[in-house]
């Protein structure tokens, strides 16, 4: 699962940390006193009238995605790294594995970063093969390497022992990448970003040097280096700091092994502003700072032709998705609860990381947030809460809630606990039309892997 990554989901920089819940309205705050201030407001990319139109065709809950926003984000990223002629974004499929989304990104010039058999199949299905695929997996089964090799994907090895494993399966391709784990604690601007020393990923530095030599012996001719040292990073320092680490490593590897290093892969990790108080990353500034590091380290090392690759998921899609859900029940016990028709099975991040997701009550965007609610799903798990002690406008049964920033690691982390079914996904097109890009799961889908005559009879009787 993507966020079980090195990556700092549980550290002070992660979504689950108190630091990331800054601005969650506390008693006495301005909005709590009945005013709506700018810091409480997050843009929704469709208004209530549009949602009502969609809901008539596709009942809630569903994830809604914004084609325009996705294209604009892809173009911003490309512009920020336009100075690097080989730059390419390999979209992290795990963040949003829907072919309609992958096709949009393909049109914007992106490839895919895959980590499993099914993600490879998805890439092939949208016409991405060969060097348009980066296969960055770990604990990789044999058949996944076989498929990656068959598709001509760039293979990013997670471990030294995988060199011989891959060689035995299909031989070593001429272009290959290795994932680096520097160990220790990763800091940027004196701020702890994450703890690679506790992460299961990558080669140690020593293993990388040995690994490159072994790969050269086995026929590798062109190399890449990759690292993913922190997730959902705040501020603009992560990529520039990572660049310095990876550029210096590339220069050392070239000097010591003579390897022809063709690309440096920064993987994912650039965050988004989940809370309206937070600043969004300044991708132009990030690109400019990486360029400085490139000019200082790569060019003098004779690596001035090396391409930069990214595998961003959250940055590309996060803000371009929302989970649309209806208030089903209100409950008053020791606290005020609003129960909605979505649950953690549709968006796991709040339950898993205590992640903040902003909520807009549609049609009440400028109403004062005078009520404190826990907004919950129906799972038999008390962590199935999209918001805790959140100040919102008074909610009525039937109100539509927009849970923000669910475009990455939202639907894709879904599961079926309590027999809950996965939701639909809807794409809002640039021209304002909308398309069902995944229908909601049915009970028949849920039971499809069971061959049970009793179930077949009941499904027929109950659902026709
Ligand atoms: C190998 C790899 N690349 C890219 C990503 C995407 O990360 P993000 O969505 O934070 O950009 C992940 C996420 O877990 C990952 O594991």
Range(s) of the domain holding residue 120: 67-317
Under the banding of pLDDT at 50, 70 and 90, the label for residue 332 is: very high
145 in the same domain as 98: yes
Averaged pLDDT for residues 181-202 = 90
* CATH number, domain containing residue 255: 3.20.20.10
> Which range (4-18, 71-85, 146-160, 302-316) has the least confidence?
4-18
pLDDT mean over 356-377: 97
Residue that terminates a domain, selected from 317, 344, 379:
317
Selection from 314, 267, 317, 9 nearest residue 138 by Cα: 267
Ligand 1 pocket: which of 313, 314, 348 to mutate (most atoms within 8 A of CB): 313
pLDDT at 91: 99
Task: Decide if 200 is inside a domain.
Answer: yes
pLDDT digits (tens, 9 = 90+) for 31-48: 333 455 656 789 999 999
Shared domain for 81 and 57, answered yes or no, is: no
> Rounded CA gap, 92 and 94, in Å?
5
444-455: pLDDT as tens digits = 999 999 999 999
| Four-point Cα dihedral 71, 322, 279, 85, nearest 10 | -20
Residue found under tokens 């090895």: 157
Write the burial class of residue 328 (CB in 10 Å: 0-12 exposed, 13-18 middle, 19+ buried).
middle
| Cβ-contact 132, 111 below 8 angstroms | yes
For the stretch 51-88, pLDDT in tens is 999 999 999 999 999 999 999 999 999 999 999 999 99
pLDDT value at residue 22: 27
Ligand 1 pocket member 176 (CB < 6 A): no
| Cβ–ligand 1 contact at 408 (below 6 Å) | yes
- Is 203 inside any structural domain? yes
How many whole angstroms separate alpha carbon 462 and alpha carbon 464? 6
Share of the chain above pLDDT 70, in %: 92
Strand-pair category, 154-157 with 133-136: parallel
Q: What is the pLDDT of residue 37?
A: 60
In this structure, are strands 260-265 and 307-310 parallel, antiparallel, or unpaired? parallel
- CA dist., res. 375 & res. 310, Å (int): 35
CA of 268 to the centre of ligand 1 (A): 4
Q: What is the pLDDT of residue 271?
A: 97
Q: Is the domain of 348 the same as that of 283?
A: no
Q: What is the pLDDT of residues 390-442, one digit of tens each?
A: 999 999 999 999 999 999 999 999 999 999 999 999 999 999 999 999 999 99
- Looking at the structure of the chain, the number of domains it has is 2
Do 301 and 165 share a structural domain?
yes
- Answer yes or no: are the C-beta atoms of 1 and 312 closer than 8 Å: no
pLDDT at 259 over 70: yes
Residue of 251, 416, 439, 447 whose CA lies nearest to 343: 416
Does residue 52 sit in the same domain as residue 95?
no
State pTM to two decimals. 0.92
List Cα–Cα distances, 283 to 219, 237, 315, 356, in angstroms. Answer: 37, 11, 10, 22
- The CB of 315 under 6 Å from ligand 1? The reply is yes
Could you report the per-residue pLDDT of 100-153, keeping only the tens digit for each?
999 999 999 999 999 999 999 999 999 999 999 999 999 999 999 999 999 999
């Amino acid at each position: 699962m993507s966020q079980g990554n090195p990556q700092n989901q549980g550290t002070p920089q992660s979504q689950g940390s108190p630091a990331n819940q800054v601005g969650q309205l506390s008693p006495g705050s301005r909005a709590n006193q009945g005013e709506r201030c700018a810091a409480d407001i997050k843009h929704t990319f469709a208004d209530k009238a549009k949602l009502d139109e969609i809901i008539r065709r596709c009942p809630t809950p569903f994830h809604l995605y914004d084609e325009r926003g996705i294209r604009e984000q892809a173009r911003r990223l490309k512009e920020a790294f336009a100075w690097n002629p080989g730059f390419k974004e390999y979209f992290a499929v795990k963040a949003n594995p829907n072919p309609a989304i992958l096709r949009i990104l393909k049109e914007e010039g992106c490839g895919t970063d895959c980590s499993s058999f099914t993600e490879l199949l998805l890439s092939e299905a949208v016409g991405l093969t060969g060097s348009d695929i980066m296969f960055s997996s770990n604990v990789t089964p044999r058949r996944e390497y076989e498929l990656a090799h068959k598709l001509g994907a760039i293979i990013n090895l997670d471990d030294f022992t995988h060199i011989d494993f891959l060689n035995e399966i299909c031989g070593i391709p001429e272009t290959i990448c290795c994932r680096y784990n520097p160990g220790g604690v990763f800091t940027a601007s004196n701020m702890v970003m994450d703890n690679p020393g506790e992460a299961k990923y990558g080669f140690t530095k020593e293993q990388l040097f040995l690994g490159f030599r072994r790969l050269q012996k086995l026929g590798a001719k062109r190399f890449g280096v990759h690292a993913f040292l922190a997730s959902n990073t705040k501020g603009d320092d992560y990529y520039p700091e990572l660049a310095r680490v990876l550029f210096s490593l590339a220069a050392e590897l070239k000097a010591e092994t003579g390897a022809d290093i063709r690309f440096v892969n920064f993987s994912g990790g650039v965050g988004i502003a989940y809370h309206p108080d937070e600043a969004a990353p300044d991708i132009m500034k990030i690109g400019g700072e990486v360029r400085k590091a490139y000019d200082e380290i790569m060019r003098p090392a004779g690596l001035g032709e090396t391409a930069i690759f990214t595998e961003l998921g959250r940055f590309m899609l996060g803000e371009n998705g929302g989970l649309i859900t209806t208030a089903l029940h209100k409950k008053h016990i020791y606290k005020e609860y609003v129960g909605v028709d979505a649950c953690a099975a549709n968006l796991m991040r709040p339950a898993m990381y205590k992640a903040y997701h902003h909520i807009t009550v549609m049609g009440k965007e400028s109403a004062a947030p005078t009520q404190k609610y826990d907004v919950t799903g129906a799972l038999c798990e008390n962590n199935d809460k999209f918001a805790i002690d959140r100040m919102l406008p008074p909610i009525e049964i039937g109100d539509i809630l927009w849970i923000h920033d669910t475009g990455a690691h939202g639907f894709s982390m879904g599961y079926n606990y309590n027999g809950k079914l996965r939701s639909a996904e809807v794409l809002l097109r640039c021209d304002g039309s909308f398309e069902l890009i995944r229908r909601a799961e049915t009970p028949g889908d849920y039971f499809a892997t069971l061959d049970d005559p009793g179930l077949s009879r009941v499904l027929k009787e109950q659902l026709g």
